[in-house]
Every structure is written in C-alpha cells, then in structure tokens.
Structure 1
Amino acid sequence: MTFRVLTKPVAILTVALLAGGCVVSETRPVEYTPAVSAQTEIAREKRLSVAVVEFDPGLPEAEETAEEKLGVPPEVRKAESRFIAFHLKETLEQTGQWGPVRVLPAERLGAELTVTGEILHSDGEELEVELRVRDATGQEWLHNKYKARADSGTYSDGEVMGRDPFQNLYNQVANDLLAARSRIDEGQLRQVREVAGLRFAQDLAPAVFEGYLEQGRNGDFRVVRLPAEGDPMMVRMEAVRNRDLLFVDTLNEYYASFYREMEAPYDSWRKYSYDEALALRELKAAARWRKLIGAAAVVGSVMMESDSRTADVAGDVMLIGGIELFRQGIQVGKEAKMQAEVLAELGTSFGQEIQPAVVEVAGETRRLEGSAATQYAEWRKLLREIYETETGLPAAPVGSDVIELADHESHPAE
C-alpha cells in the first residue's frame, strides 16, 4: 500500500531546501554606522573619565532554569557581561572623545561618568541591552534600550571579519553619549569633575569634607563650596584617589587579558548561533531542528510512491539529503556546545579568581585574593587605612558608603 504524501513539485522544493541547508530566510545587509571620532584635541573639561560597570547578565531569578530559558549556560552570559562592558570601553576610547575609560566589577563613588547596563537578549543574530549613564552629580545622560542585528559580513567577509558583529550597537551608544555631552555646557561639566572629587573625599572622610556638597530631593549633588587651592587635606586625598586609580588600572589589565582570551571562542559561538537563528529565528537550538527535518525527510522518502522514475529519484535524493542534514545538525550542535563550554570555563575562572594583588599599607604588605569583585571590595576597605596613613585622621567606618548608595540610589564608579 502506498501513500502520496508529497507531490512532485513539493518533493523537488523540499530537496532544494534540504540541499541548501534549510536556510529559507535571506539576510539583509546591515549598513555600518561609524562612531564619531575626535578630529581635533578635545578640551579637558569635556574629556570626562568614564567607568563602565560589568553588565548585569540578565539571568532569571532561578539560576537552575537559566540555561533552559537563555539557551546557553549562565556562565556564558556572565562571561558576555564582562566582554560587552570591555568592548564598549574600547569603542569609547577609540573615539578620542573621552578621558580614561575603565571597566569595574561594581559601582563606586568618585566617578565622573558611570555606564551601567543589562543584557536583555544575546545570540549570534541579535544583541539587545538596556543602558544607563549618569554623571557624578546624579544627572542622567542616557537611559535607552539598544537592539542590533549582526552584520553577517563579519562572519564570512574577509574585509570586515575583524569587526565585532554588533559594532553598530556600540557605535550608536558612543554617538548618543557624545550627543548628550553636547547638550551640557562646560560649566556644568566642570562641576561634574568637582563633585566627583568631593564625593570620593566625603566617602572616605565625611567629617573633614562636610558642607562642601549639597544633595537635593531628587538625589542630585551640587557644589556648595570648594576647598582652597592647595588645601593640604585635599592634596592628600588626591594622592589616595590616584592610588585608587592605579589599582583599578591593574584590574583592567585582567579584564583586557580575559577579553583577548574570550574573543576567538566567543566569535565562533556567535557564528554558530547566527547560523541557528537563520534556520529558525524563534529557536536557538538549530541543531535539533535540523535533526527533526532530516528525520522527516528520511520518513518522507520511504512514504513516497515509487511507481515513476521521477518519484524514485526524488525519494533517493530526499533520503540522501535528509541523512546529510541529520549529520550536519549533529555536527553543528557539537561545535556550538564545544564553544559554549569554552566560554563557560573562561567565565567561571575569571569569576572565581584572578591573580592576587599585593599592596603596601603603612609599611605592611597586604595580599588581595579572589575574583575581581572580591579584590575590589577589599581594596575599597584598604583605602580607608591608606587615608588614615596619609593624613593621620580617622576615616569613615567601613560600610558607610553602602548605606548612602542604598538611600539615594546614586550611580558611582570610576
């Protein structure tokens, strides 16, 4: 008994789809949007320093279900949160529009401009993030969602393969940040610098620097008065602040090393993810989809009636194409899984421990160990000891800055 499941035209079309790898949707070219670079030297008042905080990976509350919901292990998304932050740092630096740009594991007081963000969606085809930028006074510069399609040429075209698939998104953020700065006069930018320095000082020694800043009902800060030029307490505080920045620069060397190690496997993973997304946009597991279609093709070839030469040929080709597609699906799945495992391992190792930092405080050698976040938190505590050593005055109790952050929802970092 035979069944006419597929007509000849449908069979031929199915064979064509199978032979073509089942990519039924064509990709539209993505027009490149360059970041606006400085053509002349930017005035010092405009070159604010920028702190880019590790992005929130956007994991579900129940982390045990994260892989099922995201399509990747949570460690991969955590690794992405550092990669994206560092790539944004590099994009901003390359424009020449800003002062030093640094990545931090957490927010802190004393920054001139702070960038925080959350990953809303990420695969090889699309990247969506929510991004917020505030200055030291508390004024919000940006609060936008950014979504971009991958530039498919970066996966195959030799001329642009060195470019990030989502460079347009990073460039758009850089351009929006520049546009926001253009709406702020130099006097306001100067006050941002002043407030940043005073907030750092007040965090360590609130009694000494009381009365220099005023905080409004909306949480914004403004300068009430400035220390006298050459004020010895402020000079010492600047020395402590510079030492803080040296430690942050050391952390950024680790971020840079992590970024370089992650780049190759991350690019490979995104390419495989991109291929999957093209096959079926709503599903990330294209390997499973290809296996199902391949299996269906095998079944279809058996069910087709074989009373004609055309049907026989179509059935044979469908059988061969289905088996080949089934094999490709398994291979793509293996490759994608392998790259995801590499990323997960990188993310886990960076999240657990980096090279210990050795610092000297009051003639004593201190060793900071653990993750970047752990070392940074310990360093913030040591800053108070450093301040006491530099000035001979007691610093603020440990934890006082945490209370202020919780009460006023400020967004600090350097």
Structure 2
Amino acid sequence: MFGFSTMLSRKVLFTLGAVTLLGLTGCQATKSNIAQTGPLMVGPGAQTALGKVEKDYTYNSDIYLDIAVPVFNPGLPLNDRGEVDYEEVDEQQIWPQLRRAEAKRFAIQTKKALENTGAFGSVSVVPSPNTSADVFVLGSVDLSDSEFVKVTATVVDSTGDIWGNRQFEHQVSKGFFRDAQNKDKNPYEPIFKEIGDYVFDLLVKQNEQEKASIKETTKVRYAQLYSPETYGKYIEQKLVKGRSGIQDHYRFNLVGAPSENDRMLSRIEVLKTQDQMFVDGLQEQYLAFDAETVESYRTWQRETLPEAVAAREAKSERLKSGILAGVFAVGAVLLNKNSGSTAGAVGKTVGALASAYFIKDTLDKNAELKVHKESLDEIGEKLDINLSPSVMEFDNKTVELTGTAGEQYEQWKSHLRKIYEVESAQAQDNKL
C-alpha cells in the first residue's frame, strides 16, 4: 500500500512539474542571429542601408486633394452621461492631461507623415472635423503607455464616403533609448509612417472622376454653410448605417452644381481663402506646441519605458504565480483524496505551503505593480499644454481671437459669416 502511495505521489508530482513547466515556458520561438537582410552590396552606389526598403510614393494625377487631420480623440473612458469616467481612468492607468497632449501630438505626427507622401494639396491639423477639407483622417488614441501605442484611424472624404478604418499598433523596444543615435528620434514614429502609407494607398485607389467629385462636393458644402437656401438644393444628404467598427454617418451626393459665373459663390471662395489662412496660422501654433513639448514628452517616454516594461513583466509574473498557486492547490487536493497515507498527508502539507507561498508572491507583485503605477502617474502629471491667442485681419478690420484653438477657429468662422451676411444685405439693397 505504501509503495502504491509513493508511486502515486511521484506520478502526481511529475504531472505537476510538467504543468508547471508548460505554464512558465509557454511556446516561445527562437530567433536566429541573422546579421543582415536583403542583398549584400558594397562599394560605390551602396548608400542605402541594407535591408531598408523605402516606400515609393508615385502619384500620377493632377488632382491634389486637401486633407485635414482633426486633433485625435484622446480615448478617455466615458460614463453614461458622456462625462469622463475617472474610476475607469484610474483602472486603465490613463492621465487625462497627458492623453490630451498626445491627441494633439499624434495629429501633428500624422500630418508630417502625410506631407512626406507628396500626394496631397494642403495637409492641416485642425481642432475638430467641423472644417472644410476634401479628406479627413479621424484618429483616436486607444493605448499609449510609452511601451505600447495603439491608434485607430478612419479615413473619410467630404462626400461622407469612408475609405477605410484600421487600428495600428507598435511596441517600443525596451532598449530603444540605449542607442545614442535614437536620442532625438520619436519611438512612436513607425506607427505614423504606417498611417501615412495607409492613407496614401487608399488615395491611389480613387479614380480621377471620384477625386473631381470630392473637390466639387467640398466647394458646394462650404457654400451651403453661408447660404443653405441657395446651395442646399445641390446637395442630397442621407444617413448611412455603420458597419463593423464604423459608426452611423452621413453621405452627401451632388444632384447639381452652381454656375461657374455665380458671383455669390465667388465671394464665398474669397471667404474660404480667409478661412484657410487661419488654419494655416494654426499650423504654426501646433508645430510650436510640438516643439515646446517634445523635450518633456520624450523625457516621459524615456523614463517610463522601463517602468512600463517592468509593470507588464510583473503582471505577467503575477499571472504565472497565480496559475502555479492553483496547480499546487489542486495537487494537494488530489493527493489528499487519493491517499490516506503519510505520503498523502505530506503531499497535502507541501501543496498547501506551496500554494500559500505563491499566493503571497502574487500579493507582493500586486504591491510592486502599485509602485510602478504611482511612478508613472507622477511623471505623467508633469505635462500640460498651452496655445497662444491669435490676431486676424481682413477688410482692414482686426479681430482678436482668444481661448483654445477650437474656440478661436469658431470665432473666426463666425466673423466670416457676419461679413457675408452684411455684404449679402448690401447687395440686396442695391437691387432694390
């Protein structure tokens, strides 16, 4: 009987050992040490780094669409009332002020990537989608902890046609900042290049007729803002049910077009130029914001990267410890149920002690995670944003705009509409 118990104990312990090894090691692929990729080339003409492939941005078209990149959605969790859910903010380890800064920085980086394609007319960062453009890149920050970044981009044109929707993800190597050559580099840069390439690939799928229609729709929709009774008849608006990952949205179809000699439309085009001038001025402010925050933000990335990696590894260890605790607890139960002998009693005791040890280790790891979180919070709270006021001049009149970039833009658009209303009233009086 004692021999049977001993054999059973060994069998159970062997099984536990095998399960433990499986839980700890998993299935990991071994990377081979390949020095280079791509064909070897030395001597004159070997300027390109081996293995590096540059995307060819060949754009064979005379129609250049203007593209707007609204400040990204910071991805803050909201409650049923549409307010920031701070319990979820804490649970997800998000710092609202940092995320809002990232929402601007990410839009700016996307702008730079799009400009690099050379395939668009103007490329502008704007406070919101409430602006005039041929194409919009709507982004949201899904995750950003200095190690991992996830961004979702939706590309839609002025007709309301959604070109595409995709989530992009990038992991920063924990050794990124060890290389002195990376001192002034953005560790998130690859994700914005991917977005730029993605939008470019969607652009080249549009034929000339589609792009011409987009431009005409942009023009008429802008005119409709000033005179809906005059230009609304040329646009048909329809609500379209969203599909997977895309919300409901409106489509705008041209059912006609104003005359090329339309004097009112010509005046609106002058106002649109003023509108674009303000947007162009905003670019300087956004780029200034990017330059002013880059040092602080890069410090945050550099200092929190090892913390983020350590927190993730601690969490992984906590999960493994929890699994081991469960394994040993189950083992103790099995030994106890299958043997009333001394071996069974010893097995129960060993299993219980091991279970207690790993549960304690799990709790210790929770405390470690808390330390990492507090460290990340402390650094994240140091970053804030500022935008300076603007002064605009048009028709010998100066307008001072204050507040956020979005507030300033709305004030300027309101001023342009007032100018149009005054001029329209004067033109009507002259007819009488």
TM-score by length of 1: 0.68
Verify the 8 A CA contact 2:70 2:127 in the aligned structure 1: yes
Question: Aligned partner of 1:377: which letter?
Answer: E
Structure 1: gaps spanning 5 or more residues: 1-24, 285-328, 396-414
The C-alpha deviation readout for 1:176-223, integer Å capped at 9, x for no partner, is 112212222110011101101110110111122132222345332222
Give the whole-Å Cα distance in 1 for the aligned partners of 2:110 and 2:52: 15
Q: Is 1:128 paired with 2:161?
A: no
Paired residue for 1:213? 235
Give the whole-Å Cα distance in 1 for the aligned partners of 2:427 and 2:155: 33
SS at match of 1:107: coil
CA gap of 1:361–1:208, structure 2 versus 1, over 3 A, is farther
1:2-401 alignment, distance < 5 Å: 36-39=55-58, 42-45=60-63, 47-61=64-78, 62-65=84-87, 68-152=90-174, 154-218=176-240, 219-281=250-312, 339-343=379-383, 346-347=384-385, 350=386, 354-360=387-393, 364-392=397-425
Bigger Cα displacement from structure 2, 270-279 vs 113-122: 270-279
Verify the 8 A CA contact 2:146 2:308 in the aligned structure 1: yes
Give the whole-Å Cα distance in 1 for the aligned partners of 2:390 and 2:427: 25
The C-alpha deviation readout for 1:327-362, integer Å capped at 9, x for no partner, is xx9x9999856642331xx23xx2xxx322223466
Verify the 8 A CA contact 2:147 2:308 in the aligned structure 1: yes
How far the C-alpha of 1:391 sits from its partner, in A, is 4.3
The C-alpha deviation readout for 1:339-387, integer Å capped at 9, x for no partner, is 42331xx23xx2xxx3222234665433211111211222222221132
CA gap of 1:199–1:98, structure 2 versus 1, over 3 A, is same
Give the whole-Å Cα distance in 1 for the aligned partners of 2:56 and 2:185: 17
Verify the 8 A CA contact 1:154 1:164 in the aligned structure 2: no
Verify the 8 A CA contact 2:174 2:306 in the aligned structure 1: no
CA gap of 1:283–1:128, structure 2 versus 1, over 3 A, is farther
Give the whole-Å Cα distance in 2 for the aligned partners of 1:34 and 1:95: 15
CA gap of 1:208–1:386, structure 2 versus 1, over 3 A, is same
Give the whole-Å Cα distance in 2 for the aligned partners of 1:217 and 1:79: 33
CA gap of 1:56–1:244, structure 2 versus 1, over 3 A, is same
How far the C-alpha of 1:86 sits from its partner, in A, is 0.6
The C-alpha deviation readout for 1:121-141, integer Å capped at 9, x for no partner, is 101110012221110000001
Give the whole-Å Cα distance in 2 for the aligned partners of 1:70 and 1:375: 33
The C-alpha deviation readout for 1:73-93, integer Å capped at 9, x for no partner, is 310111111111111111111
CA gap of 1:241–1:123, structure 2 versus 1, over 3 A, is same
Give the whole-Å Cα distance in 1 for the aligned partners of 2:53 and 2:114: 12
Give the whole-Å Cα distance in 2 for the aligned partners of 1:377 and 1:283: 47
Give the whole-Å Cα distance in 2 for the aligned partners of 1:173 and 1:393: 48
Give the whole-Å Cα distance in 2 for the aligned partners of 1:277 and 1:217: 43
How far the C-alpha of 1:159 sits from its partner, in A, is 3.4
Structure 2: gaps spanning 5 or more residues: 1-27, 38-50, 79-83, 241-249, 316-368
SS at match of 2:169: strand
Give the whole-Å Cα distance in 2 for the aligned partners of 1:355 and 1:135: 30
Question: Aligned partner of 1:54: which letter?
Answer: V
Verify the 8 A CA contact 1:33 1:168 in the aligned structure 2: no
CA gap of 1:35–1:145, structure 2 versus 1, over 3 A, is farther
CA gap of 1:185–1:152, structure 2 versus 1, over 3 A, is farther
Question: Aligned partner of 1:258: which letter?
Answer: F
Verify the 8 A CA contact 2:141 2:151 in the aligned structure 1: yes
SS at match of 2:192: helix
Verify the 8 A CA contact 2:72 2:106 in the aligned structure 1: yes
Question: Aligned partner of 1:274: which letter?
Answer: L
The structure number with the bigger radius of gyration is 2
SS at match of 1:44: coil
The C-alpha deviation readout for 1:139-169, integer Å capped at 9, x for no partner, is 0012111111125564222334433212221
Verify the 8 A CA contact 1:120 1:128 in the aligned structure 2: yes
Aligned Cα root-mean-square deviation (Å): 3.5
Verify the 8 A CA contact 1:359 1:365 in the aligned structure 2: yes
Give the whole-Å Cα distance in 2 for the aligned partners of 1:224 and 1:147: 41
CA gap of 1:33–1:145, structure 2 versus 1, over 3 A, is farther
CA gap of 1:246–1:282, structure 2 versus 1, over 3 A, is farther
Verify the 8 A CA contact 2:71 2:126 in the aligned structure 1: yes
Give the whole-Å Cα distance in 1 for the aligned partners of 2:178 and 2:69: 31
